[in-house]
Amino acid sequence: MCGIAGIIENKGKEVSKANLKRMTDSVAHRGPDDEGVFLNGNIGLGHRRLSIIDVSSAGHQPMPNKDRTLWITFNGEIYNYIELKKKLGGKYQTSTDTEVILAYYEKWGADCVKKFNGIFAFAIWDDNKKILFCARDHLGVKPFYYMHKNGVFYFASEIKAILAVVKSKIEPNDSIIYDYLAYGYYHHSNQTFFKDICQIPAGHTLILKNRNIKIENYWNLPEKIINRKNTGGQDVAEEFAEILKNSVKIQLRSDVPVGMQLSGGLDSSLVVSMANKITGGQKNFRLFSFVYGKHKDIEKPYMEALAKRIGWDLEFFEILPSDLQNYMGSMVKSQDEPFPGLPTLGLHVLAEFSRKNKIPVILGGQGGDEIGAGYEYYMGAYLLDVAQRHGPDTATAELISYENLHSFKKNDHSKFLLNTVNSYLASGTSQDGTSFAKPEILNKDFASRSAGPRFLFPAPFNSHLQNMQYRDIFHTKLPRVLHSADRAAMAYGVEQRVPLIDYRLVELGLGAPAFQKIRNGVQRFFMRKAAQKILPLYVRNAPKRSVPSPQRNWFKTELRPWVLSVFSSKLLKEHGYLDQEKVLEEYRRYCQTPGVPPNSFHIWQWLHLEHWLKEYFD
């Protein structure tokens, strides 16, 4: 995993080596082990290397093919590179997966990406065709940003690299900021929070030829699912277990030490337990987890019990309220764009410790809720499907089973149903379907000039549940999680791997029949069934624990002076995005809420936006 950058100048104008060096220097944290550039007239590729596979100098990038007609700068991992080598044959000069990409591009051209299983973002300069071929992995785990202006094409792993060399003034993207503040949307399209800077969508390629850009989708997930044979009964669980085993196996490939993250829930427990089964013990692996202050007593026992059961040592980090304020500046710089609050802080602290202990690879459990329909709000979409296909009586029975499983209080029946259905229809809502955005707080001038048509999420399936999963995977939940995880890890030169969103598991999870995902009120049904042989009952059958984020309470207690100082500042009014009086009024109301407020997303939005604007535009 590395940092990539590049400049394609107008014909007749050479790329400045100094500019290219500025770009790679700005992402040096992504690759502390080596650096390199390739310059050829108006073509410039740059690279910062984090050595994971073949740590020798043979893995230096940018890397050419044998006749030096192709040059690549590559960030990520091709997990199935060993199998691809055997399949293609031929002689290789290195043991790297980078060389495999070049070999497959020579053989298959743009279709080479259809052969890869991994997390990747790369650019290949093809000197024969005079094109720049770029690609991003199926789920967009690895970032690829670009800017095409005045005939010049810039690209990089992080936005800050483009900002380091673009001479024209970069402005905030007010339409995206409006979506963020009014609806809670972010990382939902190929646009970014910076005007004129875009990203290649997940599962797409980009070809630059004669100053023209062509973007194509190489992984059409709806088409894959439609053509996929539907299986039922034990088959889905068995197939999930088989693919997960292979996914963890190939993602454990590394020539450097590997760590794993455990949260105590089903998803990360599955990954850790499968790794234990494959390797036969902890051996040289490190197992990490973080807990939030007083919440440690809720989650910690589950983590300790699993670690003890498989015989692994577990190391804990405790996140305190002061950490959020202390890390805020560095997180804003690392992330470049808005990000989730406390979860991102936890990832930063974990990655920092991992790097200090010389562990540059971490496996996590992200994505399980999206592929297995594990979030509470999926129930609304699922019940709509059941009612339409099997009638209201069956849907009611499913709802009652869910409520009994989760020990709902009397009279909560209608509230839960309305909230989860609203979450599907409205989309700008929290897990329980309640609204978290506060559009009435916006500055009227900003709202009037920036509001456009509301972003319409694609709905390619005839199933409400599948459409909701698709939305979360490509436009809401998962892109945010992957963005924050990559930037947090790479800020310290650590590679974050995500075995549960191997593209084969995503195809399986979305394509599985609804009754294999949710049955008798049990969500992630096929995943729990697959876990029977490797996880104890108390983990695989435990309902998802909706532990309230301590951020909700911290903002009205320990962090109140900090938040109030930001909301009262002169800068907030000058920035012109929020109505300061209404912000302060809402914050007072928030702090006076008895107990723990329903959510704190809007407080985080305003707090983070002000820090972001100050960092990049003041």
Q: Report the amino acid identity of residue 18.
A: A
Beta-carbon contacts of residue 58 (< 8 Å; ≥ 6 apart): 93, 94, 95, 96
296 half-sphere exposure, CB direction, 13 A CA radius: 12
Strands annotated E in 104-223: 118-126, 131-136, 145-149, 152-156, 198-199, 204-209, 212-217
Please name every residue paired with 132 in a beta bridge, in sequence order, or none if there are none: 125, 208
361 half-sphere exposure, CB direction, 13 A CA radius: 21
- CA dist 394 and 400 (Å) reads 10
Residue 134 annotated among the catalytic residues of the structure: no
Tell me the three-class secondary structure of 306-321, residue by residue.
HHHHHCCCEEEEEECH
Helix extents (H) in 283-391: 296-310, 321-335, 342-356, 368-372, 378-390
Reading the block at residue 361, the tokens are 């690879």
Q: Check the annotation: does 179 bind a ligand.
A: no
How many residues appear in the chain?
618
Place of tokens 């290949």: 124
Omega before 62 within 30 of 0, i.e. cis: yes
293 in helix, strand or coil?
Answer: helix
Indicate the pairing of strand 258-261 with strand 286-292.
parallel
Catalytic residue from among 2, 112, 134, 198: 2
Rounded to the nearest 5 degrees, what angle is found at the Cα of 271, between the Cα atoms of 269 and 273?
65
Torsions phi, psi of 61, nearest 5? -130, 160
Strands annotated E in 140-217: 145-149, 152-156, 198-199, 204-209, 212-217
- CA dist 481 and 460 (Å) reads 23
Torsions phi, psi of 515, nearest 5? -70, -10
Residue ranges at the known binding site for L-glutamine: 97
Which residues carry out catalysis? 2
